[in-house]
Structure 1
Amino acid sequence: MKPRLQASLGQQLVMTPQLRQAIRLLQLSSVELDAELTEAVESNPLLEWDDGEVAVAPDPRQADVGDAEAPAEAWSDSELEGWADGGRGGQGDDPESGSLAEQVADPETLQDHLLWQLHLSSLSARDRMIGVAIIEAISEDGYLREPLEAIADTLDPPLPDLDEMLTVLHVVQRFDPVGVGARTLSEALCVQLSTAEDTPDRALAMHIACEHLERLPRLGVDRLAHEIAEPRDAVERAVALLLSLDPRPGARLGEVTPESYVTPDVVIWRQRGAWRAALADHGRPRLRINRGYESLIPHTSSADAAYLRTHLQEARWLLRNVEARGETLLRVARCLVERQSAFLESGDAGLRPLTLREVAAELGLHESTISRAIAGKYARTPRGTLPLRAFFASGVGSGTTDETSSAAVQSMIRQLVAAENPRKPLSDARLVESLRAAGVTVARRTVAKYRESLGIPSSQDRVRIG
């Protein structure tokens, strides 16, 4: 066959620096976003803090009576503090409880984040068991350094074979953060590249990551381009793409400090019988373009003007991406409020099954976007300050066309045990019958698993305790 040139038209998604910045900002918590904006102000002369006052919102404790106006889209921290104690479902009368925003948050470890995604996945019970073992073996930086054979030996018979372990591992590696569970740096980069479809130079970057990564520092771009017979500029772009990836995909969630404080990104309140959601004050961009420096661009030398124009474009990108982050977060929060209004009213007993896929389909977004949007985000509600991931739950079969969330079933079990006759505690079989009478059909082993996770002893042990 003779070599020939052929022109063709096509469309592709380009992973531009702006898009990578938008994705990174979306997954940052409020504290991390503030640090990011502070660094941007210090390094970019075209950015400055916007000290404008935020519109004062009415007291949410009175939002459900009268004809009060709806709260403004942005809430200040002082307003959040003012009503935190008064609407937490019976907890506001405790003068020593303090504001939940001032209490130390339970740190979310990397394992917590991965296990949550695992239980919301569509894997079978056996694959979930394998997934739990794999996730527990992942180190804080996101790497799996223990051999799969050794992990399989820790599981109950029948032991899974290597193909089963690899299948589940590949699913875990595509959880958020992408690339977690990789066994080498090369594998971590390749997994991240595999999710960036239609990105220019992706195939070449993946070839370099899989075949030449260890030799790249020694060879350099020029020698590597000569060795693999690729244009130097293409190799340079591929290497730049590799450098934009995360070499330690689990480090952001793995390095947890006990001094982490809850900073709510969203405020949820009830007004005239309807649940509403709005961004907190720090969920809004508090930066603006420095008009003084911007006005100097037409009157400076070409070199200085180019410097200012570059930073002006970067500032505009940042402001646009921060605004897009807030809009996406607000859309997700409003969807959660609409789908889980019973949870806000009744607690765990009202929690309905809800997955990332369902929210993504409703909002027209990707599942990974939803996962990034809720990672490390909290909502101030009348029931307290809750992580957004608390609004998601896996489901179990019920006697109706709908499913009941596992959290709701656990709440029902807790209530049944609390109301039982201490002299005749309910056995697991009796609990199954009581749940079935309430329209929830679950297996006895499922009830036993939920009872143990709640720390409730068996019926025989409860008799002894009584």
Structure 2
Amino acid sequence: MAIAPRLDLRQSQTLVMTPQLRQAIKLLQFSNIEVNAFVEEELERNPLLERDDTADAPIGERAAPDQIAPPAPAAVDSADAVEAGTLPSETAAPLDIDTSNSYDPGGISDGAPLGGRIDGSGGSHSFDADDRTIEDFAGDELCLRDHLGEQLRLNIGDPVDRMIGAHLIALLCPAGRLTAEPAAIARAMGLPLEQVEAVRARMMRFDPVGLFARDLKECLAAQLAERNRLDPAMQALLDNLDLLARRDNRRLMAVCEVDAEDLADMIAEIRALDPKPGASFDTTPPQLVVPDLLMRQAPDGGWIIELNPETMPRVLVNERFYAKVAPRAKKDEKVFLTERLANANWLVRSLQQRAQTILKVASEIIRQQEAFLRLGVAHLRPLILRDIAEAVELHESTVSRVTANKYIATPRGTFELKYFFTTAIQGTNGDAHSAEAVRHRIRTLIDREPPSDVLSDDALVIVLRREGIDIARRTVAKYREALRIPNSVQRRREKTVPA
């Protein structure tokens, strides 16, 4: 067998990931907020792109009736407006009139904001045109350290003690606990431990009570002492917080030497305390979820789905600018403009294709989960990516990218598109049940159980199988733990001694 070089002709198909294709895939996976940020960068880079702020209608809709935009108001000539009485004429208000002695109702002297109109015509006898809200009159909230600093200056006059207090305030965590041991603080400051502990004990009575504690026990003890409720029985309860966490009320009654009624009152007092007194300060506002899709009910009973116009950017290709500049441009400038024109056209097409794909996938998801929207979580159907991909004739990876980081605002709340995809649990009669619906059913059964008949995991299995859900005990236990529901033993202990 001889070895020699030779030429072969082979034909194969490969997918070449061009930069434009990568960009389209990346845009499909982005949320509307991320797409908006990406478009802002492209607007700065590409002179042939411009923002389209003219259209106010939704970008795209599914199952929406035809809508006719109202005609734009015609331009009105100023002379005609004066004759019609809609504009003040020159004889009605002379320009050289002295207004220094005139009174303006609703002006600055009446408490109007300085940023309002000051031309003498912005007053009003009613509050109908006042767009100020209660937030405009509310003062700025103090942060935790400023709040404690004011109390430190008012309650502690010794300069050394005040320096210790300022150092303790600097070492507070957001929950209000000390991040260092008092002994380490005393060594670092070169002061006696007794002096540091004395200052800390005084500052633990600052508002809110319970700050500067080293652990949960000390924090709760300071709050109980402030209420004059730190008796020996309550101290014994604080010394056995692990038993309280396990809801071992029988051992707690023996340790605290109280009966069931007294223990219930003590537990109620513990629950009324604040385990993190510093958490009410320095709180950052929660990040609100901005839906990418909006959904509302149509007059015929169907559903209308549209992209959120407030977050979805609209861009146009400025071909007029290209036609004006390109003929007079140099060779390298013309290459640059041609490249930017192609990128702009590709971006516009990518955004349009992304919108159509998202609407197509979302419409199919809503069609298959319509029972959930009308009847609730118990009617959520089991659904996987393959079901939607086959219905809309797209690849599963495309459906996965469409549903990633996308939220839809429905009449039942705002949900991530991934929420509608749940695994299936087989039923005893051959039907499949959604795992989310089964979890909801487990929570409902536990919430409705009487104190005298707490349902164990085996009992839950029997009830669910009676309802046609074929489920194993370990699956019930897994769903219960995911819902953060204690087991039947702890629930029975808790309901035996209600608090």
The bucket for the TM-score relative to the shorter chain is: 0.5 to 0.7
Q: Summarize the Cα distance change of 1:400–1:268 in structure 2 as closer, same or farther, 3 Å threshold.
A: farther
Q: 2:291 aligned to 264, 271, 286, which one?
A: 264
Q: Summarize the Cα distance change of 1:16–1:287 in structure 2 as closer, same or farther, 3 Å threshold.
A: same
The letter for the 1-side match of 2:292 is D
Name the SS for the 1:445 alignment partner: helix
Q: Summarize the Cα distance change of 1:334–1:451 in structure 2 as closer, same or farther, 3 Å threshold.
A: same
Q: CA deviation at 1:436?
A: 1.3
The letter for the 1-side match of 2:346 is W
| Counterpart contact for 1:284–1:326, Cα < 8 Å | no
| Counterpart contact for 2:454–2:488, Cα < 8 Å | yes
Distance 2:68 2:378 in 1: 30
Matched, 1:41 2:43: yes
Name the SS for the 1:288 alignment partner: strand
| Counterpart contact for 2:58–2:309, Cα < 8 Å | no
Q: Summarize the Cα distance change of 1:259–1:425 in structure 2 as closer, same or farther, 3 Å threshold.
A: closer
Q: CA deviation at 1:393?
A: 0.7
Corresponding residue for residue 459 of structure 1: 488
Distance 1:69 1:340 in 2: 19
| Counterpart contact for 2:293–2:407, Cα < 8 Å | yes
Corresponding residue for residue 351 of structure 1: 380
TM-score, with structure 2 as normaliser: 0.51
Question: 1:267-312 CA deviation, whole Å, 9 max, x = no partner?
Answer: 1222233233222215655000113322122343333222211100
| Counterpart contact for 1:451–1:457, Cα < 8 Å | yes
| Counterpart contact for 1:264–1:378, Cα < 8 Å | yes
Corresponding residue for residue 18 of structure 1: 20
Q: Select between 359-368 and 377-386 the one with higher mean Cα deviation.
A: 359-368
Distance 2:11 2:344 in 1: 34
Matched, 1:287 2:315: yes
Matched, 1:53 2:55: yes
Name the SS for the 2:295 alignment partner: strand
| Counterpart contact for 1:275–1:341, Cα < 8 Å | no
Q: Summarize the Cα distance change of 1:73–1:336 in structure 2 as closer, same or farther, 3 Å threshold.
A: farther
Q: Select between 365-374 and 280-289 the one with higher mean Cα deviation.
A: 280-289
Q: What residue ranges of structure 1 are gaps of 5+ in the alignment?
A: 58-67, 75-256
Distance 2:64 2:15 in 1: 43
Distance 1:10 1:429 in 2: 58
Corresponding residue for residue 426 of structure 1: 455
Q: Summarize the Cα distance change of 1:73–1:369 in structure 2 as closer, same or farther, 3 Å threshold.
A: farther
Corresponding residue for residue 313 of structure 1: 342
| Counterpart contact for 1:30–1:282, Cα < 8 Å | no
Q: CA deviation at 1:462?
A: 2.1
In the TM superposition, 1:136-215 aligns within 5 A as none
How many residue pairs get aligned? The number is 275
The letter for the 1-side match of 2:20 is Q
Matched, 1:274 2:302: yes
Q: Summarize the Cα distance change of 1:73–1:265 in structure 2 as closer, same or farther, 3 Å threshold.
A: farther
Name the SS for the 1:263 alignment partner: coil
Distance 2:293 2:311 in 1: 7
Q: Select between 442-451 and 296-305 the one with higher mean Cα deviation.
A: 296-305
Q: CA deviation at 1:364?
A: 2.2
Q: Summarize the Cα distance change of 1:381–1:275 in structure 2 as closer, same or farther, 3 Å threshold.
A: same
Corresponding residue for residue 405 of structure 2: 376
Name the SS for the 1:281 alignment partner: coil
Distance 2:34 2:26 in 1: 11
Q: Which one has a bigger Cα radius of gyration?
A: 2
Corresponding residue for residue 247 of structure 2: none
| Counterpart contact for 1:26–1:372, Cα < 8 Å | yes
Q: CA deviation at 1:452?
A: 2.0
TM-score, with structure 1 as normaliser: 0.55
Distance 1:371 1:445 in 2: 29
Matched, 1:302 2:298: no
Corresponding residue for residue 337 of structure 1: 366
Instruction: Give the aligned CA root-mean-square deviation in angstroms.
Output: 2.7
The letter for the 2-side match of 1:278 is E
